[in-house]
Amino acid sequence: MKKLSYAIAFLLCYRMMNAQSKNVDSFNSIELFGSVSAELTRSNDERVKYKITKSDEKNLVIMNKGNSLIVETKGD
């Protein structure tokens, strides 16, 4: 029964996550603000891929500022 509970909890959490991507301009640095963690991966695309709970998506800001990529959450 415990394994079933974990599987259901995982499925509920997975359905609450919203995986998306956003195209950005070239950048030389990343600045993170708020409750954000990042993993940098080399790619030919200038794009940010992110996962966030659907209810928090409106609070996520991803933008270029000069040569920096800014990623922040509002309200933190």
Q: Is residue 25 part of a domain?
A: yes
Within-domain flag for 12: no
User: The tokens of 32 are what?
Assistant: 């993170």
Number of domains composing the chain: 1
Residue 34 lies in a domain: yes
Residue 1 within a domain: no
Bridge partners, 40 (sequence order): none
Model pTM?
0.68
Compute the distance between CA of residue 72 and CA of residue 63 in angstroms, rounded to an integer: 9
Residue 58: inside a domain: yes
pLDDT-based confidence at 55, cuts 50/70/90? low
Which is more confident, 23 or 9? 23
Owning domain of residue 48: 17-73
14-33: pLDDT as tens digits:
444 667 888 899 888 889 98
